[in-house]
């Protein structure tokens, strides 16, 4: 699968959601069940890209829901016009756009809802659903041709 970890220290998706933390005891859980989202000074997070931030292990960015998916969206950069429809409507913050360019899909957080495919305006679409096991090469090799407008 195409993996878009954007830098080495990127902690995206390193935890299984259901497993949670190693199940620690009462003496180690956080006081008041409060969860800090970051480690260190996070004053500037709104101006940092995700891969530049120091997420704490409590941040769901560090968790994965990949196992929820049965089908996955595959991105074909050759057809994409960077309209950002998929970015604005993805409910799982799983479209990775940087500097106005769609780069690909965050497969740790994508749940396979197919919304991005529906809202993609290109012809043929730049995003299509494939079986979870399908590799990128094969998926891209099966990409449909431009469709003539029906009706």
| Binding positions for ligand SF4, 13-72, rule CB under 6 A | none
151 binding other proteins? (CB under 8 A): no
120 binding ligand SF4? (CB under 6 A): yes
* Strands 63-64 and 15-16, bridge-based pairing: parallel
132 binding other proteins? (CB under 8 A): no
Cβ neighbours for 65, distance < 8 A, ≥ 6 positions apart: 17, 92, 108, 109, 111
CB atoms inside a 10 Å sphere around CB 39? 14
36 binding other proteins? (CB under 8 A): yes
One character per residue 44-83, x = contact with other proteins (rule: CB under 8 A)? -xxxxxx------xxxxxxxxx--x-------------xx
């Amino acid at each position: 699968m195409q993996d878009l970890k954007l830098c080495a220290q990127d902690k995206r998706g390193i935890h299984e959601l259901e497993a949670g933390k190693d199940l620690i005891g009462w003496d180690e859980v956080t006081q008041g069940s409060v969860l800090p989202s970051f480690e260190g000074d996070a004053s500037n997070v709104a101006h940092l890209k995700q891969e530049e931030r120091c997420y704490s292990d409590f941040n769901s960015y560090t968790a994965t829901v990949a196992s929820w998916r049965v089908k996955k969206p595959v991105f074909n950069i050759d057809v994409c016009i960077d309209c950002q429809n998929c970015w604005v409507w993805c409910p799982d913050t799983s479209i990775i756009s940087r500097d106005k360019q769609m780069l690909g899909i965050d497969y740790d957080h994508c749940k396979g809802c197919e919304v991005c495919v529906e809202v993609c305006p290109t012809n043929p679409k730049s995003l299509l659903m494939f079986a979870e096991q399908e590799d990128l090469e094969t998926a891209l090799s099966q990409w449909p041709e431009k469709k003539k407008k029906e009706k």
